[in-house]
Amino acid sequence: MKLILVTLFFAALGVQFDVKTEGISVIKSGEVLKEWNPDYNSGSACHPVPQVHEGEGMNYRDFTFINTENTSLRINNLKVDADNQSILIPDFTGLDNENFGPRESKTVKLNYYCTGEPGWSVVHISFTISSDTDKNYEMKFVKICDSSNISNFDWSMMILLIIAIIVVGFSAWSAKIVRVLPNMPEDANELQTIHAVLFIACGSIFLIVLFLFKSYLENILTAIICAASIGAITFVLDFLFESWRWESAWTFPYIGEVKQKTLALVSVSTTIILFYLFTRNWILNNIIGICYTFMVIKSVKISNFKIGALLLGLAFFYDIFWVFLSEKVFGANVMVTVATGLDLPLKIQCPHIQPLPIQKTCGMIGLGDLALPGLLIAYASRLDHIYQSNYLRTMMVCYAIALFMCTFVLAVFHAAQPALLYISPMLIFGMLIQAVMRKELPKVWEGRRPTTNLLHTEVALQEFRA
C-alpha cells in the first residue's frame, strides 16, 4: 500500500526537468515560469503581465534542456513560430525526437532573423515531453526587430506633466494659509533644518530596506499606506466641503463625540480605498496620490527660503545617487526597481498611448516630484499673500519648464530621469533671481515680517518670524 501511495505521489509531480537560456530559468521542475508563458490579453492598464522581451541585435538564443529525473525523457513535436512576418524562423529540428538519459543535459540553438519590417513579434516555442505520460509545453517571448518606429516620446508624459502642474499649482495656492491638523500647536507642521536632513536620510534608508526586503514588507507597507490614504482623502474632502455645515454628532464608547460629517467623509474615503485594493485601478491610484500631495503641501509649512533650498538641494543629490549611481553599489537601479516594483499609490500614472512591445504599461511620476517642490512653491504663495508679490507665478513657470526639460531628455535618451535633477535648480535659482530683482532677498531668505501692519492681510498663522 505504501509503495502504491509513493508511486502515485511521484506521478502527481509530473515530469521533472529544467530549461535554461543564457543562465536564466525558463522551466523549473517541469513547470514553465509565468514570465515565459504569459497571457498577453490578461492584465490591466498599468499592470502588464510578467513577460520577457528581447531587444535588437540578437538573432539566436540557446536553450539548455536538463533531465533531473532518474529515468529517460524524450522531446517530441518541437516547433517554433512567430505571430507575424517581421521575424523569419528557419526550419527547426534541434532536439526533436531525441532521448535524454538520466541527469543528462543538451543545448539547442534557436535561430531567428528579422525580415526588415519594423516592429516586433511574439516567438512561440512548443514541444512535448514524453516519459510515462506526455505533457505539452509552450514558451513565449517578445522579440523586437526594429524599434525605429517606436517613438521615445509618448503623449502620456504630457498628460502627467499637466496633472502635476495643476495639482502642485492648486495645492500651493491653497496653502497661502497653512491648515494645521486638529489638536496640534500652530508651529507643529513647520519644517526645520533638522527635518530636511532627516527626511533625506530616512528616505535613503527606506529605499534600501524596500529594495532588499520588498517581498517581506509589501503587505505591511500596503496596510500602512492604505490607512494613511483614508486620512489623506478625508483631509481633501473636508477642504472641499468646508462650507458644508453638518454639526450633528454621535457619541461612541472610548472615542467620544464624532461629527456625522466626519463619519460621512471617512466612509467615502474608506470606500475609495477598498475599491482600489480590489481593482488596483490606475485612476483610483491617481486620486489617492493627488490627495496625498495636496495634504502634504497644504499642511506642512516652510517658513523661510533657507530650509526650502536645503530640502530641494539635498533631494537633488538624493535623486542623482539613487537613479544614476546606485547600480554600481547595489547591482541594480534601486530607485527604478522600487518605483516599478511597488504597486502602491505613491506615484501618478497614465497608460501609454502609442503601441509598445510590452502592452498595458504606463508612464509615471513620483509623488516626491510633486510634494517636495510643492512645499517651496507654497512658501512662494504665502509670500504673495503677505507682500502682494508674484513669486507663485514665477515658481510655477520654473516648475513647468523643469518638467518639460526632464521629459525632453527622457525622450531623447530613453532612460529613467530623476525629475528633481531639473526641478530643484530651476526653483531655487528662479526664486533667488526674482528676490534679487525685487530687492527682497533678505526677507525672502530669512522669512522676516515686513514692518507694516499685517492685520489687513488676514494671515491666520504667523508665517514669518523676525
Of 182, 180, 162, 158, residue with least CA distance to 170: 162
Number of separate domains in the chain:
2
Same domain, 71 and 194: no
Same domain, 300 and 412: yes
Same domain, 182 and 136: no
The answer for residues whose C-beta is within 8 angstroms of residue 379's C-beta and 6 or more apart is: 302, 303, 304, 305, 308
Residue 92 banded pLDDT, cuts 50, 70, 90: low
Of 292, 295, 290, 457, residue with least CA distance to 382: 457
Host domain of residue 283 = 155-457
Q: Rounded mean pLDDT of 337-351?
A: 86
Does residue 99 belong to any structural domain of this protein? yes
The answer for residues whose C-beta is within 8 angstroms of residue 356's C-beta and 6 or more apart is: 150
Number of H helices, E strands in the chain: 12, 16
Lowest mean per-residue pLDDT among 32-41, 350-359, 443-452: 443-452
Q: Report CA dihedral (442, 444, 447, 452) to the nearest 10 degrees.
A: 80
Same domain, 288 and 219: yes
Paired with 141 in beta bridges are 123
Higher local confidence (pLDDT), 69 or 443: 443
Same domain, 160 and 125: no
Residue spans of alpha helices (H) in 131-257: 155-174, 193-240
Q: Average pLDDT over the chain, rounded to whole? A: 81
Same domain, 339 and 419: yes
Work out the number of other CB atoms within 10 angstroms of the CB of residue 387.
17
Is 69 buried (19+), middle (13-18) or exposed (0-12) by CB count in 10 A?
A: middle
Same domain, 170 and 300: yes
The per-residue pLDDT for range 75-90, each reduced to its tens digit, is 888 788 888 777 777 7
Task: Report the distance separating Cα 66 and Cα 69, nearest Å.
Answer: 9
Same domain, 316 and 428: yes
Last residue of a domain, one of 146, 164, 192: 146
pLDDT > 70 in the chain, percent: 85
Does residue 466 belong to any structural domain of this protein? no
Same domain, 220 and 112: no
Domain harbouring 75, CATH code: 2.60.40.10
Please give the grid coordinates belonging to residue 409: 531628455
Same domain, 37 and 116: yes
pLDDT > 90 in the chain, percent: 27
Does residue 5 belong to any structural domain of this protein? no
Same domain, 229 and 351: yes
The per-residue pLDDT for range 215-227, each reduced to its tens digit, is 788 888 889 999 9
Task: Report the distance separating Cα 38 and Cα 49, nearest Å.
Answer: 7
Same domain, 84 and 160: no
Last residue of a domain, one of 117, 146, 175: 146
Residue 451 banded pLDDT, cuts 50, 70, 90: very low
Q: What is the pLDDT of residue 136?
A: 86
Task: Report the distance separating Cα 312 and Cα 431, nearest Å.
Answer: 13
Does residue 463 belong to any structural domain of this protein? no
pLDDT over 90 at 353, yes or no: no
Could you tell me if 294 and 174 are in contact, meaning their C-beta atoms sit under 8 angstroms apart? yes
pLDDT over 90 at 169, yes or no: yes
pLDDT over 50 at 10, yes or no: no
Does residue 370 belong to any structural domain of this protein? yes
Could you tell me if 52 and 142 are in contact, meaning their C-beta atoms sit under 8 angstroms apart? yes
pLDDT over 60 at 13, yes or no: no
Task: Report the distance separating Cα 312 and Cα 325, nearest Å.
Answer: 19
Lookup result for grid cell 532518474: 70
Please give the grid coordinates belonging to residue 115: 525580415
What residue type is assigned to position 214 of the chain?
A: K
Does residue 8 belong to any structural domain of this protein? no
Last residue of a domain, one of 82, 115, 146: 146
Does residue 2 belong to any structural domain of this protein? no
Does residue 9 belong to any structural domain of this protein? no
Paired with 67 in beta bridges are 17
Determine how β-strand 24-28 pairs with β-strand 17-21. Answer: antiparallel
Residue 263, H or E segment: helix 260-279
Lowest mean per-residue pLDDT among 94-103, 183-192, 212-221: 183-192
What residue type is assigned to position 320 of the chain?
A: I
Lowest mean per-residue pLDDT among 149-158, 169-178, 346-355: 149-158
pLDDT over 50 at 5, yes or no: no
Higher local confidence (pLDDT), 428 or 448: 428
The whole-model pTM stands at 0.83
Task: Report the distance separating Cα 334 and Cα 232, nearest Å.
Answer: 27
Residue 14 banded pLDDT, cuts 50, 70, 90: low
Task: Report the distance separating Cα 218 and Cα 359, nearest Å.
Answer: 25
Please give the grid coordinates belonging to residue 128: 512535448
The per-residue pLDDT for range 232-266, each reduced to its tens digit, is 999 999 888 877 777 776 666 766 677 788 888 89
Q: Rounded mean pLDDT of 32-57?
A: 85
What is the b/e burial string over 70-105, where b = at least 16 CB atoms within 10 angstroms of the residue's CB?
A: eeebebeebebebeeebbebeebebbeeeebeeeee
pLDDT over 80 at 337, yes or no: yes
Higher local confidence (pLDDT), 24 or 398: 398
Backbone Cα Rg of the chain: 29
Task: Report the distance separating Cα 48 and Cα 46, nearest Å.
Answer: 6
Residue 452 banded pLDDT, cuts 50, 70, 90: very low
Task: Report the distance separating Cα 435 and Cα 448, nearest Å.
Answer: 13
